[in-house]
Structure 1
Amino acid sequence: MTDASPDARKPRTPADAAQRDDFAPRSQPIADRIAYQRKTWRFERIGFGVLLVLVLLALTGLFSDGPLSRHSSSGPGQRLSVEYERFLRNGASSRIVLTARTRPSALATLRIDRALLRTHTIESLQPQPLFARSHEGGLELVGQADERGRLTLYLTIRPESPGLVTNSAWFEGERVIFSQFIYP
């Protein structure tokens, strides 16, 4: 008498191998729905891929600070440049750097439009301008350029309303338009 079962003594055929396939539908011990399971696995892989893409976009700055968000715009004469973040979060602080190029030690007048003042709160302004005044609903800032003819103002802002905002800054007739998207 041998210990082997009768099935173990038979040579395996391709049909037997197909029956033992893990991915083949079977009814014992429970009924499997392999086609449905494969759809579920495909959906999981697609979801994992989408999640991975979102994490990579977040790391590169699509939702806040990062290389995709940081941007610099200049006017046609390169006398005014604005460094800013394109993507902001509502209520989170950010920075805008305005740089004007003029004659050494000259007085320079920078203007910021009303759209920026309506949608953002200016938390700080460094260095303090010699004087500031309202101009057509916006803000006019006057400062003195350094010995290289450069005036740089650092604004710390906090967005107050979500959505797409288009802002403008002027210096000596040169206008720079920059857009920011504020996430809720």
Structure 2
Amino acid sequence: MSLPEKPQRIGSLELHLDERIQHSVWTVQRVGWVLMGAFLLAAVLGLFGDGPLSRASAEGGGLKLEYVRTARVSFPITLDVHGTSDGQGVFQLWFERSLFEKSKVEHVMPEPERVEFSSERVTYIFRTTAPGPVHVVLELKPERAGKVHAQLGVVGGGEVRFEQLVFP
């Protein structure tokens, strides 16, 4: 790159200007501004935390799950499960065991009557006063970053799959 032979006078300054370089710098700056704006908009909408894009739901066979798509390691998240107890007032909610290999259970509300473990599932058994709708809130604390693929369901009923992305 060679400088212009004659400097340009701007005010009291004499400068060597290369308009091609200046236009390149402006283009890079504009691209940077657009990327920063897109990143900020995604953050405000909840792509990296709490916001409209972060919430999701899954339904199947009379079972509804409300959850967040993105989470952070060591920050609690909730899984809201809505279902219906059987004719005897029992609600048996199972989760794939792989979910608990990546997350720690902090709280379950209401408190289950008992918990059963198998090689593939963890089943929470709730006793209700009468057959009808049941709402269970499971508070988890993710322990590892990465993508989580999990499944949950009601014994003898519907099941749903969901995915979450856990950031470090």
- TM-score between the two structures when normalised by the length of structure 2: 0.86
Residue 27 of structure 1 aligns to which amino acid in structure 2?
Answer: P
Q: Which structure's residues are more often strand, by fraction?
A: 2
Aligned structure 1 segments of 4 or more residues deviating by more than 2 angstroms: 102-105, 135-138, 144-148
The count of corresponding residues between Structure 1 and Structure 2 is 158
In structure 1, the partner of 2:11 is none
Deviations 1:95-114 (A, max 9, x none): 11111124576111000111
Distance in structure 2 (CA, Å) of the matches to 1:146 and 1:55: 48
**Superposition deviation, residue 139 in structure 1:** 1.3
- Closer, same or farther: CA 36–136 of 1 in aligned 2, 3 Å: same
**What are the equivalent positions in structure 2 for 1:1-184 lying under 5 Å apart?**
27-28=7-8, 29-75=14-60, 77=61, 79-103=62-86, 106-145=89-128, 147=130, 149-171=132-154, 172-184=156-168
CA RMSD of aligned residues (A): 1.9
Percent sequence identity over matched residues? 26
Residue 161 of structure 1: SS of its match in structure 2? coil
Residue 161 of structure 2 aligns to which amino acid in structure 1?
Answer: I
For structure 1, the 5+ residue unaligned runs are: 1-24
* CA contact 2:89–2:131 (8 Å) conserved in 1: no
**Superposition deviation, residue 146 in structure 1:** 5.8
Distance in structure 2 (CA, Å) of the matches to 1:26 and 1:63: 52
- TM-score between the two structures when normalised by the length of structure 1: 0.79
